[in-house]
């Protein structure tokens, strides 16, 4: 489908072409992860379709090792997490930089990663006791890595508009 075609209901189709990568972040304490693949493939997303319906296709394209039900899309480099229940068009106000890139002929990058709530629960919920034990028994670089990972997860940075990234 190309932008400008008709969906059959009189509404034009808005297709957005982006680069996609995934981040293997299921272990919230690993700090040596980088988005993969290094050469991000392009993907066309329907701007009017809820993102949750399009995440499985992105997951398949990337062959991501993440659990599909735990996946979310994050705008790079702003860090803004996209709402899977809304379409790109419905989030347009929060994505000024994203659409600015597109208007300049560039393809913005979306990162497929573990939902923030899943990452936080991994620390606070199931891993609370082992994590506490790990902190008490750690020293030097290992302790520093664990504390840095925790800081990154809980550090709130203002994003453009009302969005907040952690």
- In angstroms, the CA 74 to CA 131 distance is 26
What is the rounded CA–CA span in Å between residue 25 and residue 100? 28
- In whole angstroms, how far apart are CA 39 and each of 19, 62, 81, 109? 9, 11, 22, 11
Task: Judge whether 144 lies within some domain.
Answer: yes
pLDDT-derived band of residue 3, with 50, 70 and 90 as boundaries? Answer: very low
What residues make up the domain containing 135?
Answer: 15-165
- pLDDT score at 159: 53
For residue 9, being part of any structural domain is answered with no
| Residue appearing with tokens 């670089």 | 141
Task: Give mean pLDDT, residues 121-147.
Answer: 68
Helix, strand, or coil (residue 77): coil
Q: What is the CATH number of the domain that holds 42?
A: 1.25.10.10
Q: Count the Cβ atoms, other than its own, within 10 Å of residue 158.
A: 9
Check: CB of residue 161 under 8 Å from CB of residue 94: yes
Q: Is residue 6 part of a domain?
A: no
User: Which region among 34-43, 47-56, 150-159 has the lowest average model confidence (pLDDT)?
Assistant: 150-159
Task: Note whether residue 56 is domain-resident.
Answer: yes
**What's the confidence (pLDDT) of residue 53?**
95
Q: Is 74 exposed, middle or buried (0-12, 13-18, 19+ CB in 10 A)?
A: buried
- Evaluate whether residue 4 is within a structural domain: no
**SS3 state at 40:** coil
Rg over alpha carbons for the chain, rounded to the nearest Å, is: 18
Highest-scoring range by mean pLDDT, 1-5, 71-75, 137-141: 71-75
Please check whether residue 81 lies inside any domain of the structure.
Answer: yes
**Residue 48 located in a structural domain:** yes
Q: Is residue 61 assigned to a domain?
A: yes
Total number of domains constituting the chain: 1
């Amino acid at each position: 489908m190309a932008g400008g075609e008709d969906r059959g209901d009189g509404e034009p189709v808005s297709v957005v072409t982006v680069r996609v990568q995934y981040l293997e972040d299921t272990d919230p304490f690993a700090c040596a992860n980088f988005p993969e693949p290094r050469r991000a493939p392009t993907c066309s997303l329907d701007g009017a379709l809820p993102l949750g319906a399009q995440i499985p296709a992105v997951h398949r394209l990337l062959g991501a090792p993440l659990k599909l039900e735990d996946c979310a899309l994050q705008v790079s480099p702003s860090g803004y997490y996209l709402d899977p229940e809304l379409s790109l068009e419905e989030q347009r106000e929060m994505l000024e930089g994203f659409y600015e890139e597109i208007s300049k002929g560039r393809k913005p990058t979306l990162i497929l990663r573990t939902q923030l709530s899943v990452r936080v629960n991994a620390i606070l919920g199931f891993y609370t006791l082992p994590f506490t034990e790990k902190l008490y028994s750690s020293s030097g670089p290992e302790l520093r890595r664990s504390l840095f990972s925790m800081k990154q997860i809980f550090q709130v940075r203002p994003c453009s508009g009302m969005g907040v990234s952690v």
